[in-house]
Copies of this chain bind each other. A is one copy, B any other.
Amino acid sequence: MKTYSSLRIEKTITLGFLSLIAAGTLLLWTLNSGHEKPLSLLDALFTSTSAVCVTGLVVVDTGRDLAPASQWVVIVLIQLGGLGVMTAATAIMVLLGRRVGIRQRLLFTGGFGVETPSGAVKLLYRMLGFTFIMEIAASIPLFIVFLRSFSPGEALFDAVFHSVSAFCNAGFSTLRGGLEGYSGQFLLPGVIMILIVTGGLGFLVIGDLFVRLRERSHLSAHSILVLRTTAVLVAGGAVLLLASDSARGLSGHPLPLKIWNALFQSVTARTAGFNTIPIPSFSSLGVFVLCILVVIGASPGSTGGGIKTTTAGLLFYSSLSEIRGKSMAIGNRKISDGNVRRALAVAVLYILTVLLGIILLCLFEPFPFGTLAFEAVSAMGTVGLSLGVTPSLSAPGKVIIILLMFWGRVGILTFMYGMISRDREASKITFAETNIPVG
């Protein structure tokens, strides 16, 4: 049974995002009406949804086709959308932590002390503080890099824009060709990678890391799982991209830059959506590897999307322990069957939605299957990488992508909360157990 308060939270989150998207749509539509290329209402809705859901898929070129005021609207929408997702997801995890008893709460919230309303407010302040410190600190090296090509005013705007866009895992860029002009250097991609990874870990893990480093105690099971899965995905993705695309997408660079660009694409595919190498220049195997990273995505309570590192990690550990015949434990904590079942439900729902999206897109649009599948996966994972067909989609195609972006961001979030907050004990009918052969 859903409790009143759980329904209220789901509604608040959904309505909050919907209002933000609606406000953004109207602002973009009116602000750009005097510009040389006015936005259609559908394209304004698309751009607003993409910004609020920090996806980064675009139907118009952000730097060329949007008026300066509209570009400001986009970056504010990204910041509010990114913070909104972090806050909402963290609030959900904290509330869940309350439900599952004192021991769990400590694990979830990394010793933040959010038992009291004032504690929760303190957590929110710290989260905002951390976000702004990261974004401002990263703007400085970005500003220095951009000064080489732009006037100080432009360089400052672009530095702030890319810093916010990267930390929020949005992937929007005001530059022509995005970051493709920066595949030959280490500094800018390095700064962007740090922003993406810290934004994508989730604030609870960051907080946990701070607390544990100071107190020299153990990390929570949640943090261990997030850090392990993130490390494996980033390193594994980079190695696979090097194997598949040394002579393709990554060719023309010396080895250290090949590694740096492979690392960058591996980091960014996990929901940020920037690219230093044009995605269509990658081999099909490379694009497939990117797709896997996109589907898994970032960590819960972060600005990133996807089925989440914890979901993928839980499913993998559960299978591994089942194969080995041992009970499942991460960092000396047993993982409950209910936890695995929830991870499974998230993954199945996610994959079925993506499949439905792909099939609908293929039926409405004339583009090749692989291209449409990539855009659908990218939209649902709020990644925003593209093989280039999004601006050419028909109206039904754009609507499908808009729905995928919204569902991939807000739907999965509120859906998870609804699923977990429900009192499972309410269902009291019991049956005799059976056992069905599999495999």
Contact with B along A291-315 (1 / 0, CB 8 A): 0100000001100000110110111
Q: Is A36 engaged at the interface, CB distance under 8 Å to the other chain? A: no
- Pick from B288, B359, B368: contact of A358, CB below 8 A: B288
- Given A310-B438, A344-B318, A431:B332 Cβ within 8 A: yes
Cβ–Cβ < 8 Å partners of A322 in chain B: 341-342, 344-345, 419
Q: Is A394 engaged at the interface, CB distance under 8 Å to the other chain? A: no
User: How distant is the Cα of A332 from the Cα of B437 in the complex, in angstroms?
Assistant: 17
- Pick from B358, B373, B415, B433: contact of A334, CB below 8 A: B433
- Given A315-B348, A434-B221, A438-B343, A369:B108 Cβ within 8 A: no
Contact with B along A402-427 (1 / 0, CB 8 A): 00000000001101100100111011
Q: Is A284 engaged at the interface, CB distance under 8 Å to the other chain? A: yes
Cβ–Cβ < 8 Å partners of A292 in chain B: 355
In the complex, the chain B residue whose C-beta lies closest to that of A355 is: B292
User: How distant is the Cα of A415 from the Cα of B323 in the complex, in angstroms?
Assistant: 8
Could you tell me if A436 and B335 are in contact, using CB atoms closer than 8 angstroms?
Answer: yes
Contact with B along A8-32 (1 / 0, CB 8 A): 0000000000000000000000000
Could you tell me if B368 and A341 are in contact, using CB atoms closer than 8 angstroms?
Answer: no
Q: Is A259 engaged at the interface, CB distance under 8 Å to the other chain? A: no
Chain B nearest CB: distance from A387 CB in Å? 13
Cβ–Cβ < 8 Å partners of A336 in chain B: 433-435
Cβ–Cβ < 8 Å partners of A373 in chain B: 288
Cβ–Cβ < 8 Å partners of A423 in chain B: 325
Q: In residues 148-166 of chain A, which contact B (Cβ within 8 Å)? A: none
Q: Is A385 engaged at the interface, CB distance under 8 Å to the other chain? A: no
Could you tell me if A430 and B341 are in contact, using CB atoms closer than 8 angstroms?
Answer: no
- Given A222-B436, A349-B319, A427:B327 Cβ within 8 A: yes
User: How distant is the Cα of A352 from the Cα of B438 in the complex, in angstroms?
Assistant: 17
Cβ–Cβ < 8 Å partners of A434 in chain B: 104, 107, 220-222, 330, 333-336, 339
Q: Is A370 engaged at the interface, CB distance under 8 Å to the other chain? A: yes
Chain B nearest CB: distance from A370 CB in Å? 7
Chain B nearest CB: distance from A284 CB in Å? 3
Could you tell me if B334 and A432 are in contact, using CB atoms closer than 8 angstroms?
Answer: yes
Q: Is A7 engaged at the interface, CB distance under 8 Å to the other chain? A: no
Q: Is A120 engaged at the interface, CB distance under 8 Å to the other chain? A: no
In the complex, the chain B residue whose C-beta lies closest to that of A416 is: B439
User: How distant is the Cα of A288 from the Cα of B342 in the complex, in angstroms?
Assistant: 27
- Pick from B244, B413, B430: contact of A327, CB below 8 A: B430
- Pick from B318, B327, B435: contact of A345, CB below 8 A: B318
In the complex, the chain B residue whose C-beta lies closest to that of A92 is: B437
In the complex, the chain B residue whose C-beta lies closest to that of A332 is: B431
User: How distant is the Cα of A336 from the Cα of B348 in the complex, in angstroms?
Assistant: 19
Cβ–Cβ < 8 Å partners of A308 in chain B: 437-439
13 A/B residue pairs, CB under 8 Å, sorted by A: A104-B435, A300-B439, A311-B438, A318-B345, A319-B341, A319-B348, A323-B345, A323-B415, A333-B431, A336-B435, A338-B435, A339-B436, A342-B439
Nearest 5 pairs between A and B by C-beta? A284-B369, A333-B434, A346-B439, A337-B337, A322-B345
Interface on A for B, CB 8 Å cutoff?
1, 92-93, 96, 100, 103-104, 107-108, 220-222, 225, 240, 243-244, 283-285, 287-289, 292, 300-301, 307-308, 310-311, 313-316, 318-319, 322-323, 325-327, 329-330, 332-346, 348-350, 355, 358-359, 362-363, 368-370, 373, 412-413, 415-416, 419, 422-424, 426-427, 429-439
